[in-house]
Amino acid sequence: MSIGENQATSPNVHSGSRVVIVTGGADGFGAAIVDRFSKEGCKVIFIDLNRDKGEKKVEKNAGLHFICGDVTCRETWEEALRCGRESFGRVDIVVNNAGITYSPSPVHTKPIEQYDKIFNINLKPVFLSAQVICPFMLEQGSGAFINITSTGCTRPRPGFAFYNASKAAVNIASKTMALEYAPTIRFNCICPAVGNTSMLQASIGDGTEAQAKLRQLEEMLPMRRVTEPEDIANAAWFLGSDQSSFITGTTIEVDGGRGV
């Protein structure tokens, strides 16, 4: 009997009782994703480098499990898997949300260290999470990965060449793994437009000039606003739920029409 045949005859775990790992879960899109899955009754393990924000989040919701760790390190993923197995007996969903950006400028102005950093943080966790978690999900008989990309994949803006490239790599890797691990494990992406998060502040700065840049960004979007964290959390919940059980290898653009 193949893996697919075994999975097809196994009962699904109800969406609200699933165990979810979320990276970058202490702030921004990740924090909203954590809150949404927790609200729906899921057991949520979230990973973040910011210990203060992570612990404060747990103080507000004692049902959460926080790991202060670096998602570019295999040991962090092994700890997350161990937490899921020992505390709940399973891991159903992985949301790779953690990532970084940089201030816009042409490629020739970028130091090689920035190139290394952007690919290390934006792409390597997708590789490591699959290496560590997929064998367990195959044994379990089901699972889903949700990887956060960017409109930089589909409508790249100048000044962000290798940020865009790192997110495009996440997108194509996800599509390929959807084929490699079907039908047992699903892989999908969410493609946000520029979001109302700390990454936006890192990109445009602050002050009066930043507000003008924000207005310009909003005018680029047909819906005339930036992406809110709740927009991404809603899409993540859909992709992790039974409602999306026949969806794999796709990207949901939650971008206010930016990609049209």
Residues labelled catalytic? 163
Residue 169, helix vs strand vs coil: helix
* CA separation for the pair 59, 8 (Å, rounded): 40
Q: Who contacts 59 (Cβ-Cβ below 8 Å, separation ≥6)?
A: none
| The two structure tokens encoding residue 192 | 């946000």
For CA atoms 3, 6, 8, 14, give the dihedral sign.
negative
| The two structure tokens encoding residue 122 | 């934006």
Q: What amino acid is encoded at 139 in this protein? A: E
* CA separation for the pair 196, 28 (Å, rounded): 8
Q: Find the DSSP H helices in the chain.
A: 3-9, 28-39, 51-60, 74-88, 112-122, 124-140, 161-181, 198-204, 208-220, 229-240
* CA separation for the pair 129, 23 (Å, rounded): 10
Question: 118 with 163: CB under 8 angstroms?
Answer: yes
Q: What is the DSSP letter of 226?
A: P
Q: What are phi and psi of 252, to 5 degrees?
A: -95, 120
